[in-house]
Structure 1
Amino acid sequence: MKKTTGRKPAKACYEHIGGKLGQLLLEQFVEKGWIAKDHPSDRHYYITDKGQEEFTKLGLDLSQIKEE
């Protein structure tokens, strides 16, 4: 792989995207209405109907995510 200067890290945390990239993705998904919480104090998010459409357009197979 060719080394480039100024590369930004994309950290993994327990096989999930972590670090600043993970934070920025989370913020954008919330802002766009792709994920949401029922209550601000909730720890977990859920994928909205809009999110299901948009993530599918990106080629993500959401059938791999178990429903709760």
Structure 2
Amino acid sequence: MTKTSDRKLAKGCYEHLGGQLGKLLLEKFLKEGWLTKDDAGDKHFFMTEKGTLEFTKLGIDLSSIKS
């Protein structure tokens, strides 16, 4: 069995995924061009056309995302 301290790679925070896993996913999505933002200092990310295609391929229902 894995120690509890080894199991804290992700955490739910309100309605999003946080923790190290959330950070790594965000970095990967940005690197792959699935997400972007208008300005480096902006806190808001936007899904690209490529991201829409790739998330859909993964079976993610994007219609449930609020704009």
**4+ residue runs of structure 1 moved beyond 6 angstroms?**
none
Q: What is the Cα deviation at residue 52 of structure 1?
A: 0.1
Structure 1, unmatched stretches of 5+, are none
RMSD: 1.4
The structure where helix makes up a greater share of residues is 2
The CA distance in 2 between the partners of 1:23 and 1:45, in whole Å, is 13
- Supply the AA of the counterpart residue of 2:2: T
Provide the TM-score with structure 1 as the length reference.
0.83
The CA distance in 2 between the partners of 1:15 and 1:66, in whole Å, is 12
Structure 2, unmatched stretches of 5+, are none
The CA distance in 1 between the partners of 2:66 and 2:12, in whole Å, is 21
Residues paired across the two proteins, number: 64
Provide the TM-score with structure 2 as the length reference.
0.84
